[in-house]
Structure 1
Amino acid sequence: MSDTTEAFLTEVNALYTSRDKARREQADKWLQAFQKTPEAWAISNQMLRSPHSTPETARHFAARTFRQKITLDLHQLDSAARTSLRDSLLEILYQYHDGPRNIITQICLSLAALALQMPEWQNVLPQLTELYGKNPVTVKCLLEFLKILPEEITTNNRIPISDENYRVRSKELLTNNANEVLQMLLIFLQNLGNNPDYQIRGFECLESWLYSGYIAIGDLENNPFLVLSFDALQSNELFDVAVDVVCRIISETREIPDSMPVIEKIYPRLLPLRDSLKIAIEEDDEDQVRGYCRIFTQAGESYMELIVQHAEAFQSIVESIAECTAYHETEIVKITFYFWHRLADNLFESDHSRIKEKFKPIFSNLVDIMIKHLHYPKNLSTWSAEKRDEFREFRHVMGGVLKDCCIVAGSRECLSRPYNILTNLLMNTTNISTVEWQEIEAPLFSLRAMGSEIPDDEDIVLPQIMQLLQQLPDHPKLRYAATLVISRYSFWTRNHSQFIPYQLHFISSGFDDEEVSAASALALKYLCKDCSELLVEYLPQLHPFYLNVSKKLHGADLYEVTEAVTHVIAAVPTTELLKALQMFCFPIAQGLHELANKGASATEKDIKNACDQLEQFSIILRVIAERRENEETVDITTSQVHPCISIIQELWPVFDLLLLSFGADPHLSESLCKCFKYCAVFYPIAFRPLLPELMERLITAFDQTCLSCYVWAAGKCVREHSSGEGNEATLALLTFIERLSVTMFKLLADKKPDDIPDVVEDYFRTIIAFVESAPLTLSHSALFPSILGAGLTSLAVEQQDALHAVLMFFNKLFSFIVKERKSQIHSTSRNISHIPSSPTSMGFNSNLLNLETILRQHGSTLIDHMIRGLIYTFPRDFQQSYVDDILVSLAKVFPQDSQQWIMEVIQHLQDVNCTSDMKNSFIREYNLAAQNQDWLKLRRTTNDFVAIFRRRYLASRERREDL
């Protein structure tokens, strides 16, 4: 026994038996490295061929190693070695025909992956059938392979094979053998039908081939499999697999017109299953209920069109699903929800309005069922936090079903259900003290959940519900739920203003209870938003309330209360707006000024409070702008300063003090930059006179702190205020970008992009904003080549958002050139001179040529970064998102140069995973596609090359790192 073999056995034993976590991790690392070595082929074969002298754990790991190496390292073997490997695996599979099954499964996975990559192996299924299909004791090996083959071929995307070879090989292995496999499975089931193990494996094979789409549902129309599948539901041993197969068959018949012959055979077999479902529910057999629930729900979803068109005939299926929804196990209940949503959507269509009446009773009863499920348990205190979160999420999903009920049964009927429950509970005053809070909270939650489907003119039930809220027992859980009900119906309160005084009092008193304050903040926000004009008269009372509550609240609750009062401020007449703003903003300014004066003596709590105050001011700016979006134009035309701008001007000295004392604090600086962003974005015209001051502040702050938030705010200014090539505002912003860039270049000289990913991202998003507005103006900057160099350097960043921004920058540049060239060609073909919409002072064509000249100087380096990023570091989805577009644009803009660059970059790749044949083939196909301007082929060629390389590279990366 070799040293490596002994080490392998030792490490496998440690991995599976050691109690020392560090030792297990060491063994796992050794074994992963072992799997990538050429030695692993022979040692795995040796382990599997010595069943009596090798522990099962070692044999199982050896089988897994074969699958791993065939998937990732098959290039290590020549053609003769692959044939030898195939024959060895076939012998090993026969050797293990009695099990263990986990080893059989791994060998079958290995054979399936090998078959896909070994086109010279032409008789795969006939050979397996000949070897294992004649003897009953080996049939299960064949069935396991037949089950695994379509799964492995369709789902193992790590196998290094080109798209074209995959299409050819999958057709040879699967499509061309589908009918034979179906007949073979039927023969096995009929001849070995008394053995449940064989039946289960046979049904699993059928489900696998149906799922992968290689056996068509039409093939089962006159096939006994249809009958066998439903009959198997009566067997306890076959029930689970039969459910899978029946659900798959039903799912494959969802294209109703094409599948009607099969559906006509399925439908009569569904109806008797309702009795089986009732028995399972009575016996509380969760497994059986789950299985029948899956079948009926799958039928409901697949045959939705038939259910709507033939409601009476399919009513039994719908009622069966409702019985499953009423079952106590929530995991089973969830299965039905999508069906109810789809049914409600279909019945909502105008041409089904008459049919909807037939389903109203079912959806009305569904409301009661949902309320029952909404009840919190009495032993809630014993639940873990995770279980509570899961149940809260489940309640919100049930809220969606309640909305569906309103769509079908109508809002009045659905509101009456929880109202009647509450009335019965609250009117019985003698027993109210014995009523558990859960019984009242559940119908309250249902009222909240249905809110979006209730019309604002509902005058029958909702007024009674609002009156009823005043009679609730004094319990924080109920107060919380009732407050959220008021919150959800604020749109309705707008048309029923008589409830405003009561609701305001109810909400405001909730801030005295810590458990209710979050709900109160949310309710106040929506009430003030929907009833802002009606609440202007309450502003004098809201002011002291706001000052008082601001001292107690923090975070989201404080922000929602701020938004609430700002909605009311926004409804104040323009002539009084400044006064109202000063009343609410000056206390904020005073708090910020006090912090600024503290300087270094300020505590962490002081800074946190200041962040809250800056957030409050940001919210005021945003809400005023959104609610009065036409106000700014009026102010400008009348030469008046916008009230918000007046407030901003008064706060500039405070902002300057904050920048001076706390500009380097990451939290406060972000809050401050958010204010700056809202100034520049929400008040673009009114704020423009102050823009130069803001830009100067951002330049200074970024130079002093290198914090990304200042670049982020700069990007917002550029995006909002850059307005085309060459005009005065754009040139001023270009100077702004150049001064920011000087600091950025210094930063990149001292740090790696991965050390400052947030700065990289925000910087290039700022550059992108300028490129989208004035790319030619940017290209004439003396710093433009340095910006390109910074982009190339930053392509090494691994953080995805930052890399996304850098790639988008290059993509935008080249997309602009391609677009302009196409426009010029189109204009020339029509004998029209190309005139850009916003020409620069120089000729447009010369500007474009200047941009192309600069980019050509960096083209080779850019392609090198693109190719190396694709094969080593870029996330795979970035290829289709950006890199393919950049490579295609390069080929369009620099057709000859790009082909030369590609050849140089690929030929200089020094990696054992990239063979000379791979390189030459890729260069040849890439250049051919570029010459023929076949951009789809160019993308596909690149994708195939990258896919094959990365799969090989991933297999050897850890070994290279160890070396």
Structure 2
Amino acid sequence: MANVQAVLSALQVFSRAPEKAALDQANTWLQDFQHSSDAWATCNVLLLSPEAPPAAKIFAAQTFRTKVTYDLGDMSSPDLLQLRETLLKALETYHTGPRNILVQLCLAISGLALQLPAWDDPVQDMIDAFGRNPATVPALLQFLTLLPEEVTTNTKIPITDDEYKERAAKLLTANATKVTDLLAMYLQATGVTLTVQIQVFNALSSWLAAGEVVAMSLLNSPFIPYSFQALNSDELFESAVSAVCDLIHETQEVEDNMPVIELIVPQVIALKPKLTEYKEDPEKIRGLARIFAEAGEAYRSLLLHHPETFFPIVEAIGECSAYSDLDIVPITFSFWMRLAQSIGKRPSVSPLFLDAYRALMDVIIRHLHFPADLASLTGQEAENFRSFRHVMGDTLKDCCYVLGTEQCLLAAYERITLELSRPSVSWQEIEAPLFAMRSMGAEIDPNDDKAVPKIMDLIPSLPPHPRVRYAALLIVSRYTEWINKHPDYIPYQLQYISAGFEDADQEVNAAAGQALKYLCQDCKRHLVEFLPQLHSFLATMGSKLVQDDKVQVYEAIAYVISAMPMEQAAQSLRTFSLDILGHVHALASKTTPATKEELISITHDLENLEVMLGVIGSFGEQLPAACQNTHQEAWAVFEPFLIKYGAEYSICERTTRVLRLGLTFFGPVTLPILPSVLTRMVNCFETTGFSSYLWMAGKIVGRFGNEEDPALRAAFKEVYERASSKLVTILQEKLPQMIPDVLEDYLQMLLQMIEYTPDVFFPSPAFAFAFRVAMASLTLVHSDIVFAALDLLRTIFTHECLAPATSQPPPPSFPIYAAAVRPVVEREGQELIGLLLSGLVGDFPEESIAMVVTIFRVLGAIWPTELHAWLPVVVQQLPSTAAPDQAKSSFLTDINSSIQSGDVEKVKYAIRNLHRASRKARERRRAGPLEG
């Protein structure tokens, strides 16, 4: 009774809804209780006690289901049979509900049936116990619905594959005929209720989905005719739709199921008039659309071979596609896509299908129309509609696949010209076919000389409405590969794009930026002569553009520069870069502090330069003359700029990214300025604590770490030690969890150092601190940081300086490195393995286990005595909720065995077994009281 009272007290916490800590504590206690052997008896009392509150009964039912899944191995055979009687008695008690208790009990009985070979025929026993009395039949049907799902999907039940196959055959396959006969009997029983009929349909669907009932077995059963009849009942409609769809789905192997298909198809076709009858009832139309689409997909080959018989199904799907409710229309899209794929493989196709896709294209363009009053859409509705238009665009591509892109484009073109010929036309009538043309753009032939020229000639004459201009500009951006083959159109398109930048609508500006970017990317060789025009455009229009659009323009210009001969490209890049560097220099030279607007403007300038360098990349090892001294000029501008504004976070971010790309662009010629750059990076880090300065330093080490220049190596050492010292100060004020970005960039810098500059990394006094930072980083729930920390630790432990002595004398530096590593490991080792094991049974990513294994192998090989002493203390401290006691004991035994035998390979299995046990415990906890 003490346990009963303890459970009730814990559950009461949830009803009071106190602070999160109390809820977490109560949830943890209940999860731990579920794991205990006392839970069986306690939950039996709670479940069968009339006085127990509803929450306690639900918890008891959930606990039985959980323990049947995980803990049956703890019980003897007599106890298992007793458990069966307990669960059956409980099901009898709760046969009328509540449903959540009924479901948990049925799942528990299903799980027990799967694991208890001594229970000879669970299905028949359940039928005998609950199938004779009409009052208990709903409980039986609930069990029969859940049994196939639990048997086929609950992968947590601990049985072997052979045991599973044998038991699943006994439970499901052997009973399939019996169950379908029983369900058919209930379906037609005198006085049967609608509720029972719905349950029968659900149970049949479950057995069909599990593959245990085949369609041919239902040929002479009442299920097929009754499922279609039930569509006339409002109450049964949804269940009947699912049943019909399941039946159709199970007959998709048409050659094996033709007798059943011959029974189903006339009844499906007979539903077509109901689309008119139910046109005011979207839910009914949705159900019918599901049936027609399922039939269309399942019988696709029959549609193509026998259109005279099956085409009414296509017509019905077309009507569903044309329905006004856009939540229903997508039900048909998969059918149109798959049918188009099948038609594309055939040498000839019936005109009926061509007409169907022509009609579909008209329907889709009609659906693409924005409403007359855009304000009638809420923000979310407008976003949903825009997203859905792109989905409909994919269906237009299916039309192109069947009809040919040229025919589809001409149809959309003719639709626009017809609208333009009318005295008055709404922008929606023009915009929708334009959107269709854009969607079909991915399918056009770059050599097309019929449809696309007409579209290109049409664009300049379109109405200047912002939505129309927006759609037309996006057509230009989609058709740039075609324009590349037809460069005569470039001047006209540039003119149209320039006008887009002058529009008052920001979305039109953005579309113009995108069009210019793709035009320059795909037609860059043709646009070289237009570069002065683009430079003038930036000079006159640049200040009027929002930054997102300006970035697109700079990216476009960079594509054109990349197509130039090198000397000309270098001169052009220098022209645009100096414009930006001039702004940076002017701001750095100001005697008064910069305003907020000036700082924002300069970060935009830096972003534009970053975009250009990112596109161009590099001119190679031999820099053209125009670039020879630019790196020194640029650094002469950037260094005073950083001294003055490097404490502004946005300036730090943008400047370091530009400097990083500058390293790639200029390459080895930057060597003379790198010590100065590194010193400035560490100065800025000391002043600000911004991680990007460490990131930049790490990039320099990774790119130039092999250089022997004494000044550069002294700069590496300075960065390492001063950055470490600053990080010591930061960690005295902040927890590691508060500075994940700093820790990650520091670790990444160290990873470059240990690879390229071990002579700096190991002997430095900063090494001990770097080791501690790697350990502290293991406590963060950030996969990238944990990976970096483990990678660094693994690299330290596997460095050749710690390798056993060989006949070949080691390099003179190795004993120095080893002398730095050994005392640190001996001092920090116990805490390190505690962190490794806590992460292993906690939040370490799955992919990190191999690194943990490697570190333990080295510890076992080089520090076996210490590891043997450290482990018992550390393992004991692991929470039992994350690492069960038995798993901890096995782990200790396995590790000690590997140490004693000298077989470090066994370490891998010990660690993987501990991880597997902890993962299983976590999965179980996730299915705890709050999850249900």
Common fold: TM-score over 0.5: yes
The one-character-per-residue Cα deviations of 1:858-907 (angstroms, maximum 9, x if unpaired) are 77654432321132344xxx12x222453267448957978958963674
- In the alignment, structure 1 residue 942 sits paired with structure 2 residue 914: yes
The one-character-per-residue Cα deviations of 1:196-228 (angstroms, maximum 9, x if unpaired) are 4333223323333444x4x446x4433458862
1:615 to 595, 607, 611: 607
2:852 to 879, 886, 889: 886
- In the alignment, structure 1 residue 656 sits paired with structure 2 residue 639: yes
Aligned residue identity for 2:386: R
1:531 to 493, 509, 523: 523
Deviation at 1:667, TM superposition (A): 1.4
5 Å-filtered alignment, 1:609-688, equals 609-625=601-617, 631-633=619-621, 635-636=622-623, 640-641=624-625, 643=627, 646-688=629-671
Aligned residue identity for 1:701: C
1:869 to 815, 818, 839: 839
Structure 2 alignment gaps of length 5 or more: none
Distance (Å, rounded) in 1 between the aligned partners of 2:385 and 2:13: 42
Answer whether contact 1:723 1:729 (CA < 8 A) is retained.
no
5 Å-filtered alignment, 1:133-144, equals 133-144=131-142
Answer whether contact 2:409 2:451 (CA < 8 A) is retained.
yes
Distance (Å, rounded) in 1 between the aligned partners of 2:266 and 2:591: 78
2:201 to 200, 203, 222: 203
The one-character-per-residue Cα deviations of 1:50-92 (angstroms, maximum 9, x if unpaired) are 66x77xxx42663145315752798799849987766444323
Aligned residue identity for 2:256: P
1:287 to 283, 288, 293: 283
The one-character-per-residue Cα deviations of 1:699-742 (angstroms, maximum 9, x if unpaired) are 32223222111222233334444569x99999689647734445
- Cα 1:413–1:901, aligned 2, differ >3 Å: closer, same or farther? farther
Deviation at 1:94, TM superposition (A): 1.1
Answer whether contact 2:145 2:202 (CA < 8 A) is retained.
yes
Distance (Å, rounded) in 1 between the aligned partners of 2:485 and 2:302: 41
- In the alignment, structure 1 residue 97 sits paired with structure 2 residue 95: yes
1:758 to 732, 737, 741: 741
* Residue of structure 1 in register with 2:260 after alignment: 265
Structure 1 alignment gaps of length 5 or more: 959-963
* Residue of structure 2 in register with 1:145 after alignment: 143
Aligned residue identity for 1:887: V
Partner secondary structure for residue 544 of structure 2: coil
1:495 to 482, 485, 489: 485
Answer whether contact 1:722 1:733 (CA < 8 A) is retained.
no
2:889 to 920, 928, 944: 920
- In the alignment, structure 1 residue 221 sits paired with structure 2 residue 216: yes
* Residue of structure 2 in register with 1:961 after alignment: none
CA RMSD of aligned residues (A): 4.8
Answer whether contact 1:273 1:292 (CA < 8 A) is retained.
no
2:327 to 307, 324, 331: 331
Distance (Å, rounded) in 1 between the aligned partners of 2:597 and 2:8: 57
- Cα 1:578–1:919, aligned 2, differ >3 Å: closer, same or farther? closer
Answer whether contact 2:184 2:222 (CA < 8 A) is retained.
no
Distance (Å, rounded) in 1 between the aligned partners of 2:840 and 2:397: 47
- In the alignment, structure 1 residue 392 sits paired with structure 2 residue 374: no
Identify the range of structure 1 (358-367 vs 191-200) with the bigger mean alpha-carbon deviation: 358-367
Deviation at 1:465, TM superposition (A): 1.3
Distance (Å, rounded) in 1 between the aligned partners of 2:533 and 2:848: 55
Deviation at 1:389, TM superposition (A): 0.7
Deviation at 1:322, TM superposition (A): 3.8
* Residue of structure 1 in register with 2:413 after alignment: 419
* Residue of structure 1 in register with 2:177 after alignment: 183
Distance (Å, rounded) in 2 between the aligned partners of 1:569 and 1:940: 54
Answer whether contact 2:438 2:478 (CA < 8 A) is retained.
yes
Identify the range of structure 1 (164-173 vs 229-238) with the bigger mean alpha-carbon deviation: 164-173
- Cα 1:462–1:954, aligned 2, differ >3 Å: closer, same or farther? closer
Partner secondary structure for residue 191 of structure 1: helix
Answer whether contact 1:730 1:774 (CA < 8 A) is retained.
no
Answer whether contact 2:369 2:428 (CA < 8 A) is retained.
yes
* Residue of structure 1 in register with 2:499 after alignment: 509
- Cα 1:531–1:208, aligned 2, differ >3 Å: closer, same or farther? same
Deviation at 1:957, TM superposition (A): 12
The one-character-per-residue Cα deviations of 1:434-458 (angstroms, maximum 9, x if unpaired) are x221111100111111112112211
Distance (Å, rounded) in 2 between the aligned partners of 1:764 and 1:312: 70
- Cα 1:854–1:123, aligned 2, differ >3 Å: closer, same or farther? farther
* Residue of structure 1 in register with 2:400 after alignment: 406
Answer whether contact 1:47 1:59 (CA < 8 A) is retained.
no
Distance (Å, rounded) in 1 between the aligned partners of 2:790 and 2:349: 53
- In the alignment, structure 1 residue 583 sits paired with structure 2 residue 583: no
* Residue of structure 2 in register with 1:436 after alignment: 426
TM-score normalised by structure 1 residue count = 0.81
Distance (Å, rounded) in 2 between the aligned partners of 1:32 and 1:171: 36
Deviation at 1:361, TM superposition (A): 4.3
- Cα 1:805–1:317, aligned 2, differ >3 Å: closer, same or farther? farther
Distance (Å, rounded) in 2 between the aligned partners of 1:940 and 1:313: 60
Percent identical pairs in the alignment equals: 32
- Cα 1:775–1:652, aligned 2, differ >3 Å: closer, same or farther? closer
The one-character-per-residue Cα deviations of 1:360-389 (angstroms, maximum 9, x if unpaired) are 544443322221111112232021111111
- In the alignment, structure 1 residue 695 sits paired with structure 2 residue 678: yes
- Cα 1:786–1:543, aligned 2, differ >3 Å: closer, same or farther? same
Aligned residue identity for 1:562: Y
Distance (Å, rounded) in 2 between the aligned partners of 1:104 and 1:940: 38
Answer whether contact 1:125 1:173 (CA < 8 A) is retained.
no
Deviation at 1:757, TM superposition (A): 0.6
- Cα 1:319–1:721, aligned 2, differ >3 Å: closer, same or farther? farther
5 Å-filtered alignment, 1:37-436, equals 49=48, 58-59=53-54, 62-64=57-59, 66-68=61-63, 70-71=65-66, 79=75, 87-112=85-110, 125=123, 127-152=125-150, 164-165=158-159, 167=161, 170-171=164-165, 174-194=168-188, 195=192, 196-211=194-209, 213=210, 215-216=211-212, 219-224=214-219, 228-229=223-224, 231-236=226-231, 237-248=235-246, 251=249, 256=253, 260-262=255-257, 265-266=260-261, 269-270=264-265, 272-281=267-276, 283-284=278-279, 285-301=281-297, 318=314, 320-345=316-341, 352=346, 360-428=354-422, 430=423, 432=424, 435-436=425-426
The one-character-per-residue Cα deviations of 1:244-278 (angstroms, maximum 9, x if unpaired) are 34444555666x5xx84236633652354133144
Deviation at 1:673, TM superposition (A): 1.1
The one-character-per-residue Cα deviations of 1:28-48 (angstroms, maximum 9, x if unpaired) are 779757855859988876665
TM-score normalised by structure 2 residue count = 0.83
- Cα 1:417–1:76, aligned 2, differ >3 Å: closer, same or farther? same
Deviation at 1:342, TM superposition (A): 4.2
Distance (Å, rounded) in 1 between the aligned partners of 2:586 and 2:788: 39
1:605 to 597, 603, 617: 597
- Cα 1:540–1:947, aligned 2, differ >3 Å: closer, same or farther? closer
Distance (Å, rounded) in 2 between the aligned partners of 1:216 and 1:733: 72
Answer whether contact 1:36 1:956 (CA < 8 A) is retained.
yes
Answer whether contact 1:96 1:103 (CA < 8 A) is retained.
yes
Answer whether contact 2:895 2:906 (CA < 8 A) is retained.
no
Answer whether contact 2:201 2:243 (CA < 8 A) is retained.
yes
Distance (Å, rounded) in 2 between the aligned partners of 1:934 and 1:357: 69
Aligned residue identity for 1:370: I
1:455 to 445, 448, 453: 445
Partner secondary structure for residue 187 of structure 2: coil
- In the alignment, structure 1 residue 468 sits paired with structure 2 residue 464: no
Partner secondary structure for residue 547 of structure 1: helix
- In the alignment, structure 1 residue 522 sits paired with structure 2 residue 514: yes
